[in-house]
Structure 1
């Protein structure tokens, strides 16, 4: 057994021996409401600051927007490689309280589960990366490179004041990055689909409802026709680039063999998904509507760009002879990934296997994420974190305590592999 393997085994033992501190820390993070919107992370940021101060981990705090705070903390040797561990402090709203079986911000541990809003997305992962960093500092591990924590707000509403804000200003750099977002226990996500959100506005001519369809022009009726055309984006056959086909195939394997309840969704990896999310139009029932607005969420596979989708859309809608416009909003990205052989992917995947003794491999995510921002700045990145996936963004959000501990063990051992690699 070599020295690095012995060090990793020692670190795994240290996490196990101190897991009560990890679970308590996670519980307290959940107990601090940091709902976005509005996105006020003042209280949770101050709590994390105090946790870092306990072991003298230096950090910088940046207020990117009113009451939205980023923390950037580092340990190790600035002369070597740099690994970034990233997590967000904000959570989605709790929704209808009557549908919860427990208080959303209880942070209670019950029957092996950590309970509360953000348990899976992603305060358990956030707790794990901070705890792993603190343990490395506490044990005086002589790292040959630098480990940086990027703790950000504003991920749940698009992330404008979190990751992209830090990257644009050069406040976070690195040779590799892990985002502690929820994932399957053995399958981190190394690629994401692109995102294309747009608002379609259709204009008509008002008139008295009693004269419809002979008078005016009904914008809602024209919108119904337009929606039918928008939905045909799903039917397009996309030529998947050869270099990304192995990732698609291994992701289909994952959906067949691991999350087999996702078996029926396999084709979404190669298709443009289309969700008609909201529709608003008209004045009242007896007035021919002169406008209608529809917001649409499309996720793009490899092999097609935002610009190409826009041209296809315009071609379809122009053929309807309607008065319309398309306005982009929200997430904007093309499909992106980090190769499985990249050092950051290998460090995480290899240490998932090291910790669990089971086969691990990276897969494709059918949604989009902050990972795209790091790749835009040529920082290889993947996502891996503790989660009970069915509960994310829903009522009764929770995560298994054993998963929180397992991920912390992976985080702390992967630092060793990545920073010691030449």
Structure 2
């Protein structure tokens, strides 16, 4: 619990990206004490300005710890940022609280609990001499909570790591392995009318009225189109196997109570199942918007769609070497094989998968507690997962049939 307590105590709140430098120092000390070679790389400012210009003044760091050399390289990636604590806590969110088998604190589920489990397994692997049979590598990256572009994506694109196998310790639960995740297409729809004084609304064209009518029509168009689609991949909840669309997660516009609003906008959150592609999803969205907005355009409104984020769905073969080895390790530790399912949300794991690396998500905790007040995890769950990681490392570094060995990493 000492390691987890140190991690929770650093308030790495994102946005905007607080205390990242302090976290680098903590991780460097922990991993160096465990016998790992540790390096830290600052994400270039031009990269920050491209993806998070509003937070470019807050430095971002990738921390990499290695023991051993050659292949295979088994890699554990953890993000160290957390969401703001928010309200409703009954205890200090940045001081680890232990009550029986439960631990409380911001990030104990998402995902400093998984990070601590990976560190514990890595410490054991180093002590057992795992580095004589390949490389054990851990990375600690920022900004998963804001999309991961300035964290894992940068690390992979810059070639800072070149693993054969990757495990991301997000809270899948000790009996479940995520083999991939849905994709997302996010957009903003802007409706413009004509602003006027609230006492003479006939002189204006109310953008709020137009937006409300458009949102209902667009929702009907999209849900009708998506209602018959189902993924053939396994999901924990059958409802997750359908593509979804959510309108109005964020709404903006208006100026004052006595002003006829001339502009309003709302967001679109379209989640893609693995069988869908981004280009087709965007084409469908634009065509549905064109149909739904036709009455508004004829009444004098203008309607514009702007895509704000896009990430393809990503899955790997559940029959692959990593999935088999991880399933065997879970079965040996827990007595039962894990479920292999697709995560309905987005995961940093996708950046490895899209780069052609065998990567899975497996970590301790119930993700329903993530981002919540009094976020909590289970000590026994974290220890179970740490034992699985240790067994997985042993299996992948000693089992024949893995990637070819080389003399250098």
Q: Alpha-carbon deviations, 1:80-113, whole Å to 9, x = none?
A: 22221100111110001xx112111121211211
Contact 1:240–1:303 (CA<8 Å) still a contact in 2? no
Q: Alpha-carbon deviations, 1:328-352, whole Å to 9, x = none?
A: 224x212211111111111222111
Matched ranges for 1:305-324 at <5 A: 305-319=277-291, 320=293, 321=297, 322-324=301-303
The equivalent residue for 2:68 is 76
Contact 1:238–1:304 (CA<8 Å) still a contact in 2? no
Distance 1:269 1:421 in 2: 36
Contact 1:74–1:149 (CA<8 Å) still a contact in 2? yes
Find the residue that maps to 2:30 and give its secondary structure: helix
Task: Give 1:239 deviation, angstroms.
Answer: 7.5
Does residue 303 of the first structure (1) align with residue 275 of the second (2)? yes
Contact 2:62–2:142 (CA<8 Å) still a contact in 1? yes
Task: Give 1:168 deviation, angstroms.
Answer: 0.8
Alignment match of 1:215 (pick from 199, 203, 217): 203
Distance 2:152 2:79 in 1: 9
The equivalent residue for 1:228 is 216
Distance 2:400 2:304 in 1: 52
Task: Give 1:402 deviation, angstroms.
Answer: 0.2
The equivalent residue for 2:33 is 54
The equivalent residue for 1:288 is 260
In the superposition, the TM-score normalised over structure 2's length comes to 0.87
In the superposition, the TM-score normalised over structure 1's length comes to 0.85
Task: Give 1:68 deviation, angstroms.
Answer: 1.8
Does residue 90 of the first structure (1) align with residue 84 of the second (2)? no
Does residue 28 of the first structure (1) align with residue 6 of the second (2)? yes
Task: Give 1:30 deviation, angstroms.
Answer: 1.0
Segments of 5+ residues of structure 1 without an aligned counterpart are 1-22, 256-265
Q: Cα 1:226–1:309, aligned 2, differ >3 Å: closer, same or farther?
A: farther
Alignment match of 1:150 (pick from 129, 139, 157): 139
Matched ranges for 1:256-271 at <5 A: 266-271=238-243
Find the residue that maps to 2:282 and give its secondary structure: helix
Does residue 386 of the first structure (1) align with residue 358 of the second (2)? no
Contact 1:234–1:274 (CA<8 Å) still a contact in 2? no
The equivalent residue for 2:351 is 373
Task: Give 1:361 deviation, angstroms.
Answer: 2.3
Task: Give 1:315 deviation, angstroms.
Answer: 2.1
The equivalent residue for 2:406 is none
Q: Cα 1:275–1:206, aligned 2, differ >3 Å: closer, same or farther?
A: closer
Distance 2:175 2:193 in 1: 53
* Runs of 4+ more than 4 Å apart: 238-241
Query: Over aligned residues, Cα RMSD in angstroms?
Result: 1.9
The equivalent residue for 2:50 is none
Q: Cα 1:179–1:147, aligned 2, differ >3 Å: closer, same or farther?
A: same
